[in-house]
Structures are given as C-alpha cells and as structure tokens.
Amino acid sequence: EVKTEKMGFEAEVSRLLHMMVHSVYSDREIFLRELISNASDACDKLRYEALTKPDLASGEFGIAITADADAKTLTIEDNGIGMDRDDLIANLGTIARSGTANFVDQLTGDSKKDMQLIGQFGVGFYSVFMVADMVHVTTKKAGDEHAWLWSSAGEGSYEIAEATKEAAGTKIVLHMKDDAKEFLERFRLQKIITTYSDHIAVPITLAINGGDKKDDDADEPKVVNEGSAIWTRPKSEITDEQYAEFYRHVGHGFDDPSVTLHYKVEGMQEYTVLLFVPTKQPMDLFDPARKNRVKLYVKRVFITDDSDDLLPGWLRFMRGVVDSQDLPLNVSREMLQNNPTLERMSKAITKRVLSEFEKLAEKDTEKFEAIWGEFGAVIKEGIYEDFERRDAILKIARFKSTGVDGWTSLADYVSRMKDKQSAIYYITGTDAEAVKRSPQLEGFRAKGIEVLLLSDAVDDFWLQMAPDFEGKPFKSITRGASELKDIAGDDKEDESEKAPEGELAKLTALMKEVFGDKIKDVRASDRLTTTAACLVADDSGMDMHMERILKAHNQ
C-alpha cells in the first residue's frame, strides 16, 4: 500500500500561483520553455556527477516530449539527475529562488502590473498551472533506489507518494485544461520548441499519439531542435532572438539582454565566452550572498553556476556561460577555488567586460546610462573592493549632479570645474530626493559650483577607498569651512566662518550653551542662502552621512 502525504505550498507560493492562474497570461506557451529548461539543467547536472561516478549515467542524454490527444496529456521526460523526496519538497514546494519574499512584497494586487512583475521574476516550474489542471511528476534521483510521485492541481497543496520508475530522471505529465488543447498539436509544439529551445544542447524529441493520425509516422519521436550548444556556433549563424532565448534559459530571466558579448579566446588559454547584461535588475541582485550566476563549463560539460571566482562580485548581474578548454574535466567545485587557470580567465573576462562598457559609454551613451541606472550601484562596489580596476571603473562611472539633468561622468564634471576649484565636491545620503534638497547645497548652488549627488548605500564606502579621480580629490560638502569664496573668485575679504560679532555673537553664544557637548562650535557662514542653519562636519572629522552609517552599526 502506498502512503501519500499531503503538504501545503509556502504561503508566498500560493499567492503567486493564484495570481498566475487567474490572470490572463498572454504567453502561456512559455510553460514548455520552462520545463525544457529544467530538463536540460537536470541533464547538465547528471553529466557533471557522472564525471566522478560513471555508473550514474547510462547512454545519451535527451528530452522526450509526447502529446496524447485522446488522454489530453502532455508528457516531458528527461534522463537527468532526478529528485529525491527532499529535493521535491525544496524545489517544487518553494520557489527555488532567493528574493521571493521581497518579490511578493512588491505585488500590488493590480493584475496587469503584477503580471509584468511576475514576468520579470520568472516562476519557472509553476507556469505549468497556466495550462494544466493536474500535474504528476514522477522522478528518481540518479543513484537512488526510490522513486517519487509529486502531484498537484496547483491550488495550495501538493501530494507526495512513493512510486516506481526504472531509470533515473524526471517525467512530468500535464493534464491539459480544456482551453489549452492547442498545446497537444504537433505544429504548435514544434513551433514553440524551435522558438524557445533551439539552443538547448541535448536533443529534444517530439511524438504525437492519439487523435486522427494523418501523419504516417505520428508515433515516431522526431528530433526537433538544433541540439548543439549555442556558444559553440559561429556568431553569424545566431539570431538576436536565439541569443535572447538562450539568455532567458541560462539567466532564468524574462527580459531581453541589453548587451550580448560572444567571443572565443585562443592561444595561451582557450575558452569561449557568451555573456549577457540583463535589461532589468534580477530579483536577487542585492542579496547579501552576492552570488554569481554565470555558468562554468569545461569542454561543454556543465561544472557549476556557483563559482565566486569566475567573475568578481561587482559583476554579479551578468548572465551566461564561460566554457574552458584548459581546466581539467574532472575539476571539482572545491578545486576551483584559487585555481590559477580560472583566475587568469576571470581577469581577462573582467577586463573585456569593462572595455565593452567603456566602448558602449562612448558609442551609445543613452544605452550605457540605462545599464548604469540598473547596475551602477553594484558596479561601484568594485571601486572599493577591486583595487586593480578602480581607475577603470571610475572612468565609466556615472553620477547624478547639480550641474546636469541626467548622468555625468567624472571627466565631464572635471571639465566643468571652476578655474580655482581643485576638488570634486559631493554630498551623500540615503534618499536621492532628500540629497537634492539638502540645505548644504545652497551656497554651492548660489556660486555655481557643481556637486555630485550620491545616494547609493555603496557610495560612502567607495569614497573611503578612492581618494581622487585623476588627481582631483573627492571632498564632502558637509565638512567644515569650505573654499567657496576662493573658488567663486570673490575678492572681498573672506568673512566666511569667522568669529561672529554683535547680535550674531549673542545668538551663537546662546546656541552653544543650549547644545552644550552635542556640538563643537557654532559659526556664521555664507554657505546657506535661504535656510537659517545647517549641521556641518569638522574639516578633520568624518563626513556626516558616514558618521550616521557607522553609528547605526554601533561603531
């Protein structure tokens, strides 16, 4: 007798499922792309495991798709890694991606906006419930004895029971909804597979059973995809749409890539790079784990998508594949740490990415600024943690400023500096709007001196590490007596911030008494034009915003 357990999806998943199934999703066909993508990942994983345990894999990897018009089922079967009971609960009972909670918080209840957001997040496996009202997943993990059956109607709960299955891998049977029967037709399925999954590196076969078999060989599975790894093909043979589909497969994204970088390196080292910059921020971009998602292959065998050494953390928004010819095939994930071959490759790729950004910034400023708007906050992390790249990053970095409406580069800021101005002035804060309105800026505005407006959390940190840009020091405007007068070229005797006299002296004396220890001094200043008073930091002291950050961390 088979024991069946009934379990609830995570609350968040339930909400998401409900939303997906009950909103009209225009691209329902993407469920098949998601299933094929997962099946291909599963084959990749087993191929890797089999490097050290050859017994695990038997024969060629493949994905078989079978439609049965009579039973109204669509079956997707792979001979990949499979899942055990724990995997099933962890992977199909939870949306297997960090940032879910954060994502669900952003849902508004407005189905149109939410669908866009769901599209951006990607829901992977769950998209099956757009077309199926019952889903059975029979799966056996490579090397295990037991097989499991996972079933769900996508309505808040799922069941797991023991099952029987000969070979390792996963078989997913979709019982199609009445309004989704189009996905049982050969022509339709073939079109979807070539549109979305032509780049998949394992063969995908399609067979149609039942219905009126006009096709002579209707039961014969036919290979319907190209079946070779896209990055191994010549650039000239790959369309933008194929690149975009591959990006969505490797990157688990739903947007289009904004930059596609595909090249091959030969000589001392041999490897192929196919990298993408997304258009939109991935949901897990600001996760503390700062995980890289670029997949490392060795001679077309997937090794890991979890290497911290393949690309620096400040490029973690990049997606794609790096395929090395030089690393040993049996390289373990542990061996990859501090591996000199990997290190050299990583350096070269990082350099190439930076130079692509530099070119783009020159050639297509608007496009580059859009990328900077999404990922600049991450790239700036490189200024403080990647000493070697600091200058290169400062060169492409873009900032908001009092001097321009959009973005400015540091070089452009410097070109607009006043004759007597020697520093690059900035103000930091947590809120872009508040920073823009800060009374600290008044004097600078009045005298026409440009100030960079920095409001990313990372800004205070890189400023500690980067003392200057091409010899021009960065200087916070919240610090002590500023050189406003000198720069603006006022010839009048410098009266700023000297000891107040008369009525003003009485006022400042009173203020000092009232504030006591809390302040160091009260001075008259001409840095303000409309506001009566503002707090400034001591020249030798710390920038005010930095002080607040450190206080918040009890430093």
Residue 53 beta carbon to Mg ion: minimum distance, rounded to whole angstroms: 25
User: 30, 33, 75, 80: which one contacts ligand ADP (CB under 6 A)?
Assistant: 80
- Three-state SS at 256: coil
Nearest to 148 by CA among 120, 125, 168: 168
Residue 173 beta carbon to ligand ADP: minimum distance, rounded to whole angstroms: 12
Q: Does 38 engage in binding with Mg ion (CB under 5 A)?
A: yes
Residue 546 beta carbon to ligand ADP: minimum distance, rounded to whole angstroms: 38
Beta bridge partners of 327: none
Q: Over 170-208, what HEC string results?
A: EEEEEEECHHHHHHHCHHHHHHHHHHHHCCCCCCEEEEE
Segment lying near ligand ADP (by CB under 6 A), choices 78-86, 188-196, 360-368, 452-460:
78-86
Residue 126 beta carbon to ligand ADP: minimum distance, rounded to whole angstroms: 6
247-286 mask for ligand ADP (x: CB under 6 A)?
-----x----------------------------------
User: 11, 96, 507, 514: which one contacts ligand ADP (CB under 6 A)?
Assistant: 96
Instruction: Kindly identify the residues of this chain, within the stretch 91-150, that bind Mg ion according to CB under 5 A.
Output: 124
Closest to Mg ion by CB, 122 vs 443, is: 122
Opening angle at CA 316, ends 27 and 454, nearest 5: 105
Q: Is-contact 462 410, C-beta < 8 A?
A: no
Instruction: Kindly identify the residues of this chain, within the stretch 109-128, that bind ligand ADP according to CB under 6 A.
Output: 124-125
Residue 47 beta carbon to Mg ion: minimum distance, rounded to whole angstroms: 17
- Binds 282: which of ligand ADP, Mg ion, none (CB < 5-8 Å by kind): none
Residues in contact with ligand ADP, counted by CB under 6 A, come to a total of 17
Please report where in the chains the tokens 């109607």 appear, as a residue: 153
The beta-carbon contacts of 221-224 under 8 Å, at least 24 apart in sequence, are 221/64, 221/66, 224/190, 224/193, 224/194
Would you put residue 252 in left (φ > 0), alpha (ψ -120 to 50) or beta?
Answer: left
Residue 86 beta carbon to Mg ion: minimum distance, rounded to whole angstroms: 18
Closest to Mg ion by CB, 77 vs 543, is: 77
Show Cβ contacts of residue 528 under 8 Å, excluding neighbours closer than 6 positions.
439, 442, 443, 534
Q: Does 81 engage in binding with ligand ADP (CB under 6 A)?
A: yes
Residue 200 beta carbon to Mg ion: minimum distance, rounded to whole angstroms: 12
Q: Does 78 engage in binding with ligand ADP (CB under 6 A)?
A: yes
Show Cβ contacts of residue 550 under 8 Å, excluding neighbours closer than 6 positions.
542
Element (H, E) at 8: strand 4-8
Closest to ligand ADP by CB, 92 vs 202, is: 92
Other beta carbons within 10 Å of 82:
26
Instruction: Kindly identify the residues of this chain, within the stretch 368-397, that bind ligand ADP according to CB under 6 A.
Output: none
Residue 171 beta carbon to ligand ADP: minimum distance, rounded to whole angstroms: 9
Segment lying near ligand ADP (by CB under 6 A), choices 74-82, 325-333, 386-394, 430-438:
74-82
410-449 mask for ligand ADP (x: CB under 6 A)?
----------------------------------------
β-strands 73-78, 169-176 pairing: antiparallel
Closest to Mg ion by CB, 254 vs 357, is: 254
Cα–Cα distance, 455 to 443 (Å, whole number)? 20
Residue 185 beta carbon to Mg ion: minimum distance, rounded to whole angstroms: 24
Question: 3-state DSSP helix/strand/coil percent for the chain, to nearest 5?
Answer: 40, 20, 40
Closest to Mg ion by CB, 148 vs 254, is: 254
- Binds 96: which of ligand ADP, Mg ion, none (CB < 5-8 Å by kind): ligand ADP
Q: Which tokens go with 541?
A: 């002291």
Residue 170 beta carbon to ligand ADP: minimum distance, rounded to whole angstroms: 4
User: 75, 100, 170, 242: which one contacts ligand ADP (CB under 6 A)?
Assistant: 170
Nearest to 320 by CA among 240, 260, 254: 260
β-strands 452-454, 424-428 pairing: parallel
Closest to Mg ion by CB, 42 vs 224, is: 42
Q: Does 38 engage in binding with ligand ADP (CB under 6 A)?
A: yes
β-strands 319-324, 452-454 pairing: unpaired
Q: Does 34 engage in binding with ligand ADP (CB under 6 A)?
A: yes
Closest to ligand ADP by CB, 61 vs 183, is: 61
Q: Which residue is nearest to ligand ADP (CB)?
A: 124
Count, residues in the chain: 555
Nearest to 88 by CA among 166, 197, 5: 5
Element (H, E) at 265: strand 257-265
Cα–Cα distance, 245 to 34 (Å, whole number)? 11
Interface with Mg ion (CB under 5 A): 37-38, 124
Interface with ligand ADP (CB under 6 A): 34, 38-39, 42, 78, 80-83, 91-92, 96-97, 124-125, 170, 252
